[in-house]
C-alpha cells in the first residue's frame, strides 16, 4: 500500500471519499493573505489554521506541498538532525560534558563520605544517650 488511495478509512471500517482540494484551498488562501506583503507567510498559515480549527503544522504541510508542486520559489528545506551543517556534537563539546559529569560525580562521592562520617558520629551520640 505505497500510494495514496482515493478512499479514506474511518474508525468504523467503512470507506468514505477523501476530500480533494483542501491543499489547493489552503494554498490559495495563504497566497491571498500574503499578496503584496500584506501578511507574512507564517502568520497567514496560522490565521488559516485558526479559521479551519486545524493544526498550523498541518496547514503548513498542505501549503508547502502544493507550493512545491507549482514550482513556487521557496527556501531550501532544512535537513533534519543537522545543526548548522554539522552532524552531532563536536569533540570539544563532548569533552566539556564529560568533565562536568566527572566533577559532579567527584562532588557526590565527597558528600557521601562526609554524610557517612556524620552518620557515624550520630550513632555514637545515640549509644552514649542510651546508657
- Residues 103 and 99: their CA atoms lie apart, in Å, by 6
∠ Cα 26 43 69 (to 5°)? 35
- 7-55 tens-digit pLDDT: 444 455 554 445 568 888 899 989 889 888 888 988 999 999 999 998 9
The pTM (predicted TM-score) of the whole model is: 0.46
**What pLDDT, in 10s, does the model give residues 81-125?**
655 555 667 888 889 999 999 999 999 999 999 999 999 999 999
Tens digit of each residue's pLDDT (9 = 90 or more) over 48-76: 999 999 899 999 999 888 888 888 878 78
Determine how many CB atoms are found less than 10 A away from the CB of residue 130. Answer: 6
Amino acid at each position: 500500500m505505497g500510494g495514496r488511495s482515493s478512499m479514506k478509512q474511518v474508525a468504523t471500517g467503512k470507506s468514505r471519499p477523501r476530500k480533494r482540494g483542501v491543499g489547493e484551498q489552503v494554498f490559495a488562501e495563504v497566497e491571498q493573505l500574503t499578496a503584496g506583503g500584506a501578511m507574512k507567510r507564517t502568520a497567514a498559515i496560522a490565521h488559516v489554521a485558526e479559521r479551519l480549527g486545524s493544526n498550523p503544522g498541518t496547514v503548513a504541510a498542505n501549503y508547502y506541498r502544493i507550493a512545491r508542486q507549482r514550482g513556487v520559489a521557496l527556501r531550501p528545506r532544512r535537513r533534519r538532525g543537522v545543526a548548522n551543517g554539522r552532524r552531532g556534537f563536536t569533540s570539544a563539546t563532548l569533552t566539556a560534558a564529560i568533565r562536568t559529569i566527572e566533577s559532579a560525580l567527584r562532588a557526590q562521592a565527597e558528600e557521601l563520605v562526609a554524610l557517612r562520617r556524620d552518620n557515624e558520629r550520630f550513632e555514637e551520640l545515640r549509644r552514649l544517650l542510651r546508657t
